Amino acid sequence: MPALPPFDDAAPDAVPVQAAPSFSPLYQQIKGLILQSLQAGEWKPGEAIPSEMDLASRFRVSQGTVRKAIDELAAENLVVRRQGKGTFVATHAEQHVQYRFLKLVPDSGDRDEEGPAERSILECRRTRASAEVARALGLRTSDAVVQVRRVLAFAGVPTILEDIWLPGSAFKGLSAEQMADFQGPTYAMFELEFGVRMVRAEEKIRAVAADAQQAQLLRVPTGSPLLSVERIAFTYNDVPMELRRGLYRTDNRHYRNELS
């Protein structure tokens, strides 16, 4: 990785000698360089990144600048600070982030008390991307994708019906058995088995009525109200890597999101 040119950022008013209109603060530049290393796989999910002192030496900036860059990465759930141990690449396998993108929670009780979701894989096959799927994933129409349909049950109750599309080039060999047998969150499997880390997601939510097939799979009457959640998940540098459409039962659950 290229190092930044020498730069004295000790003074609060310090600026590069040649500032361009697109200038970004130095800590943002360091953040970008760290992101490049994360994207390149220099440090894997769950692994420690170099210390602030080592990174400061590597990029020839102050530890304060590195600390500010890491603070932003931590706030975005890309790295995790552990007291007395260092800073680690965040992973969806960690307990506190494994439900990061799943906002459906029980009306009463604790989701963790239910244990992990029970996965029933109904379909997992390679196919060609439709125009709509290709547009969502930044592919060309007819590019290969992996299409998955599954039901997630909590405490034995079918709760979510999902259709998932993944770029075929990044998920070669993904099988129904692999998805069903993995003991942990699906996004953790994507990290460990395929080297793809989802770092953020965008969702569209609307209310719909269950058709006959959906009602049968979720064991609700036809016409029952469901929450339709369409999610696009991105890896580093905003590269879309998953289109997921879920139908959620909300008879004893609700969608909970924290805004700040």
127 and 247 co-located in one domain: yes
78 and 147 co-located in one domain: no
Q: What is the pLDDT of residues 40-70, one digit of tens each?
A: 878 888 889 999 999 999 999 999 999 999 9
Q: What is the pLDDT of residues 108-135, one digit of tens each?
A: 866 666 667 899 999 999 999 999 999 9
How many separate domains does the chain show?
A: 2
Q: What number of other Cβ atoms are within 10 A of residue 2's Cβ?
A: 7
At residue 24, does pLDDT exceed 90?
A: no
204 and 234 co-located in one domain: yes
Query: For 186-193, what is the mean pLDDT?
Result: 89
At residue 173, does pLDDT exceed 60?
A: yes
83 and 114 co-located in one domain: no
pLDDT value, residue 110: 66
Residue 38 lies in a domain: yes
pLDDT value, residue 258: 75
Greater confidence (4 vs 82) lies with 82
Query: For 74-98, what is the mean pLDDT?
Result: 78
63 and 190 co-located in one domain: no
At residue 155, does pLDDT exceed 90?
A: no
Lowest model confidence (mean pLDDT) among 22-26, 30-34, 123-127:
22-26
Query: For 195-213, what is the mean pLDDT?
Result: 93
Q: Is the dihedral of CA 209, 213, 214, 216 positive or negative?
A: positive
Query: For 236-255, what is the mean pLDDT?
Result: 92
Residues whose CB is less than 8 angstroms from the CB of residue 1 and which lie 6 or more positions away in sequence, other chains included: 33, 36, 37, 42, 58
Query: For 152-158, what is the mean pLDDT?
Result: 91
137: confidence class by pLDDT, cuts 50, 70, 90: very high
194 and 69 co-located in one domain: no
Lowest model confidence (mean pLDDT) among 206-210, 227-231, 247-251, 253-257:
253-257
What pTM was estimated for this model as a whole?
A: 0.74
Can you give the residue range of the structural domain that contains 43?
Answer: 26-89
**Nearest of 63, 105, 120 to residue 255 by alpha carbon:** 105
At residue 7, does pLDDT exceed 70?
A: no
Look at the block and give the residue holding tokens 């931590």: 74
Residue 17 lies in a domain: no
At residue 94, does pLDDT exceed 90?
A: no
10: confidence class by pLDDT, cuts 50, 70, 90: very low
Output the average pLDDT for the chain. 86
Greater confidence (252 vs 217) lies with 217
Residue that terminates a domain, selected from 89, 118, 139: 89
251 and 170 co-located in one domain: yes
pLDDT value, residue 97: 52
CA atoms within 13 A on the CB side of 38: 29
pLDDT value, residue 109: 66
Whether the Cβ atoms of residue 235 and residue 45 lie closer than 8 Å to each other: no
What is the domain-level CATH number for residue 31? 1.10.10.10
Greater confidence (95 vs 204) lies with 204
pLDDT value, residue 132: 96
Look at the block and give the residue holding tokens 């990785």: 1
User: Which phi and psi (to 5°) does residue 117 adopt?
Assistant: -65, 145
Query: For 76-105, what is the mean pLDDT?
Result: 77
pLDDT value, residue 114: 67
